[in-house]
Amino acid sequence: MHHLSNLPTGYHRSVLIFCPDKDLFDVGDITEYACKTFASCTSTKPTRKERKLANRLIVNCSSGKVSNEGLKRAIGTLSSSAVKWKNLDIWSKAVSACPTDLKLKSVGVDGFARAYIAFGFAPLEPHLEAAVKGDTTNSRRFSVIQGLLRLGSDEKNETLVSWCTTQQENILSSLRQATEQDAEVLMSIVKQRDMDVLRKSVIPQLTEAKSGVLFWTAFLQKMKQGELVDLPNFDANEATEIVNSQVSTIMSTANTFPGRIIKAKVSYEKDRMEPLVDHWLRYLKLCVSLDCYGMCSTYLQRMFDDYNKANQQTKEWIADNFISPAIVKLGAEVSSFPSDSHRIFAEFFKFAMDVYVDRTVIQGKGAFVIPTLMIAAQRCGSAEVLKAKLSPMYAQLSQKKPNEAQQMLTELALRKGGFAADHPDAVTYQAIMDGLLKAIIASTDFEAKQPQVPSYRPYGYRYGVYNPTTTVTETFESAGFKLIRLCNTSGCQAHIPLILDRMLMPKANSDIRKQIEYGLVPFLPQLKTYLASIGQDITSEPYASFTAKGIKGYVKNVLGAKPKETVSTSHLNTVGCKTCDDCREMRKLLLSESKVFSMPRNQIIRKHLEKELAKTRAWGVSWTTIRSGSPQSLQVTKPDSLVAPIVWLKRQTEGLKLMESIGDEKTLQTILGAHFATVVSVLGMKVTVQPAAPAPRTQATTSNVPHAAGAPSHPQLTTATVPTKKRPSTGGDHAPKRTKFDDDVIDLTDSPPKKR
């Protein structure tokens, strides 16, 4: 290395040598291969290869590296092959390689019986004793002993019979935690004994072992059904007392809100508590199936008390995680319970509904699922319970959960449809619907909003001007439209007039022009189409009066009086030269409704355009050069006197489109009545039907209305109010007083419409 230090550049290379473990050169885990080989084996004696494979499999099973499932399959397959080969040595080694608690499960009850037939009892005894002692189930232990006892009795093997009898007593005195599958076996064992064994041995041991509720339900049901009546010392009262005592013991220690902790998988997350609603439901089923309704009621009362005593965090967990699935799952089970128990569970559903509504509506936490609430309401026994709960919070529900409030109306309508109209529940449901719908209408924003102009300015948008009726083509359902549809689907048509009134004038200071232009104009064609789809006509009330107000409001507040044309179209067409495209575009923009427009052009073209614009200065047109951007832009501003006539004509065209979208002449005559002739005249609509004679006037007419200079020659809409049919009741309180929508007196003089 000292030679390298004298060199200007040096290199140092390393070699990494991998030395695999010797086990990697072995055949590895052959458990799966061995199991497949032995399962398909048909020989009566093991070959040399099979012996070697069996020994290797035994070593693997003894290593502790094989999973329980793999171990069970390996020992079961190998022991079965050993019986087939009648090879006691391999069988003994295989069973010895299996852990004590898995011996009986791996070899199987039938496997031990076949081994007894092949090898006799003596070599099997230590393995059998270890298997029976180590197994964790009652049913498997009893099953293997009973099977061997039958074989011993058939063969008159007194040694085996004596051993089996002793083992039965040992099992009976060392019962494990019982499962539902143990109920049948244990009941058969008790039938072979007497009530003392049941009372003094079986019940205490199974209770101490904390046997599951499913087991107790199955086992105690068998007792209640009289399966022990043939016992010599059977006493029905004693059996009932045992059942009631055991149910009482179980229910007194039952968790009211069972759950289990789920450990967080990562350090930055918290452990969470998972509700065990199925476990909770098992306690209730235990009581119901054994007619212990009093204990069930006591348990539910303990639930209510535990909730009231709990801290805020626990209450929130119960409300967020436990109550909703408890309502759904118990609601599905209650219908199968005896009717005597329904009163008890009604108390739970009242409690659950209080907790659920308080959390989701009042506190605004979690999802408010309507079907869940309706299950609780239905199981409470009466619609009055739901009304009492929801009545104080109609406003909160409609404000905090508006979508859910509307879903509830639909659900209530379905519930109501299941009763006769005069049924008390139907009347109560209707009262809830009326109260909730009034709250929804009161909290709904009916104010029409002007659509936002996209920043990229697509075709149809001009600088400074937005046309709502021609550029917006996508269908938009307003809040009013949705509520009208909801009223029709839920059978609450009595509230539609109130909705229509709110759409005409949402607030006292609402801008009437915007409300009509951006709200009613797109809404009326939608309304007509929707009414036709449900078999109604727009000429029926209250829609006809509403439509008439919308049309007349458009003429009065949106269209207004025709402004005086200060510069004719022919004069505007003289602006610019007749040869270049730039002047043609400028003339087009001058004739458009745009008040301000820009033309990005180079300097030569801008100078040319400015020269051609010189004659328009006398008309009030001004222009300037916008220095930013490339090329720079010529920005032209037109006076209102040039823009107003063009905008008026455009609005007249849109008004004509509105009329045509509502219906034909006959329909419009029916809707507008005496105002039809004047409205069609203002909008320039060609009519073929002779207009009906106008109604007698009680207010000023066209003869005494002064005309301003330049005013249109068409008659003015200044007629009296046209009587309409009396509207149906709205079913509740009226909305707050708002400014009058003065639609029946339309003044089309030169004065601009007043802003409302």
Does an H or E element contain 292, and which?
none
pLDDT value at position 510?
A: 78
115 and 75 in contact (C-beta within 8 Å)? Answer: no
Specify the higher pLDDT residue, 546 or 753. Answer: 546
Nearest to 116 by CA among 126, 124, 104, 128: 124
CA atoms within 13 A on the CB side of 388: 9
pLDDT value at position 191?
A: 87
pLDDT tens-digit series, residues 423-481? 988 999 999 999 999 999 998 888 887 776 554 444 333 333 334 444 444 567 888 89
Please list the alpha-helical segments (H only) found in 209-341.
Answer: 213-224, 236-253, 277-289, 293-309, 312-317, 323-334
Q: Is 563 exposed, middle or buried (0-12, 13-18, 19+ CB in 10 A)?
A: buried
pLDDT value at position 716?
A: 40
How far apart CA 76 and CA 111 sit, in angstroms, is 8
At 754, the pLDDT band (50, 70, 90 cuts) reads very low
pLDDT value at position 703?
A: 33
pLDDT at 164 over 90: yes
Query: 161: which 2 tokens?
Result: 């019979």
Q: Is 743 exposed, middle or buried (0-12, 13-18, 19+ CB in 10 A)?
A: buried
Q: What is the DSSP string of 369-430?
A: -HHHHHHHHHHTT-HHHHHHHHGGGHHHHHHH-HHHHHHHHHHHHHHHHTS-TTSHHHHHHH
How far apart CA 711 and CA 562 sit, in angstroms, is 7
pLDDT value at position 695?
A: 41
Question: Which residues in 349-379 are b (16+ Cβ under 10 Å) and which e?
Answer: bbbbbebbbebbbeeeebebbbebbbbbbbb
Query: 741: which 2 tokens?
Result: 């929508």
| Residue keyed to tokens 């689907």 | 489
Report the phi/psi class of residue 451: left, alpha or beta, with left for phi > 0 and alpha for psi in -120 to 50.
beta
Mean pLDDT of 523-538: 91
610 and 479 in contact (C-beta within 8 Å)? Answer: no
For the chain, give every domain's residue range.
569-683
| Residue keyed to tokens 């399966």 | 227
At 233, the pLDDT band (50, 70, 90 cuts) reads confident
Mean pLDDT of 531-540: 91
pLDDT value at position 753?
A: 43
Mean pLDDT of 571-591: 88
At 619, the pLDDT band (50, 70, 90 cuts) reads confident
Mean pLDDT of 615-621: 86
How far apart CA 220 and CA 459 sit, in angstroms, is 80
At 613, the pLDDT band (50, 70, 90 cuts) reads confident
**Contacts for 276-279 with beta carbons within 8 Å, 24 or more apart?**
277/322, 277/325, 277/326, 277/329, 278/329, 279/213, 279/255
Which pTM was predicted? Answer: 0.70
Interstrand relation of 259-262 and 272-275 (parallel, antiparallel or unpaired):
antiparallel
**Type of residue at 81:** S
pLDDT at 648 over 80: yes
Residue 78 DSSP SS3:
helix
pLDDT value at position 221?
A: 92
Specify the higher pLDDT residue, 688 or 563. Answer: 563
pLDDT value at position 747?
A: 52
At 629, the pLDDT band (50, 70, 90 cuts) reads confident
Q: Across all residues in the chain, what is the average pLDDT?
A: 82
Residues of the chain above pLDDT 70, percent: 84
